Amino acid sequence: MTLSILHRKNVLVLNRHWLPVSAITPADAFCHMVAGTGEGLLISPGELRPLAWADWLLLPVGDGEGIGVKGGKLRVPTVILLRRFAGLPMCRSSFGFRALWMRDGGRCQYSGRKLALHEADIDHVFPRSRGGRDEWENCVISDRNINRRKAARTPDEAGLSLIRNPTRPRPVPVSHTIENTYQINDWKHFLLKERGL
């Protein structure tokens, strides 16, 4: 394992309830394990158990699973468990086209039609030219043709009505936003997306 892999966020972190809360680097995972705040998870067919640092040091290391250290090789964990941390951090969506697209389900909020990305615009319900702001409560996904036709008018003035009023999305647990970028099989036990939930 090269030094650069030590600094990739390829270790999943679980809280004490075994829920994913973040992804960290192996270097950070080793710090948690040495300090006693985290335990590496031994994951193999039919086995899933946390190991304290002293026990982790005794694990055999297969090809591609470890890093060279003084006196041999050290296995790199793919998942660690924080025994004392119970929190589940929440994540707010950043305002922008992609977040509006997700909130509105890729549908025009005037016609209800499912849009392809190239067919969509951000519409300001109360036009910017009249003081409308770039904010969750004033923006919706709209069909480009409808948005052009609406122009600098309110929906009422343009003879349109919204399917639903735009609102700020609720924060979601950060566990819903963790991506398995490196396709690590061991993460699939814990990420809802990976389990099809």
Instruction: Tell whether 58 and 18 lie within a shared domain.
Output: yes
Assess contact for 186 and 192: CB atoms under 8 A.
no
Residue 150 one-letter amino acid = K
pLDDT in tens, the chain (197 residues): 455 677 889 999 999 999 999 999 999 999 999 999 999 999 988 889 999 999 999 998 877 677 877 778 889 999 999 989 888 787 777 899 988 998 999 999 999 999 999 999 999 999 999 999 999 999 999 999 999 999 999 999 999 999 999 999 988 777 777 888 889 999 988 886 655 54
Note whether 51 and 107 are same-domain residues. Answer: no
- What's the domain count of the chain? 2
Neighbours of 12 (CB within 10 A): 26
Q: E-strand spans in 31-151?
A: 38-44, 47-51, 66-69, 72-75, 79-82, 90-91, 120-124, 139-143
71 lies in the same domain as 134 = no
197 falls within a domain: no
Q: What is the CATH number of the domain that holds 101?
A: 1.10.30.50
The boundaries of the domain holding residue 113 are 93-170
Q: Does residue 97 share a domain with residue 162? A: yes
Position 3 scores a pLDDT of: 53
Structure tokens at 45: 């067919």
Q: Are residues 62 and 122 in the same domain?
A: no
CB-CB contact of 35 with 49 (8 Å) = no
pLDDT at position 1, please? Answer: 44
What per-residue string of b and e applies to 15-50 under the rule 16 or more CB within 10 Å gives b? Answer: beeebbbbbbbbebbbebbeeeebbbbbbeeeeeeb
Domain annotation covers residue 157? yes
The verdict on 20 and 74 lying in the same domain is yes
Asked if residue 160 belongs to a domain, the reply is yes
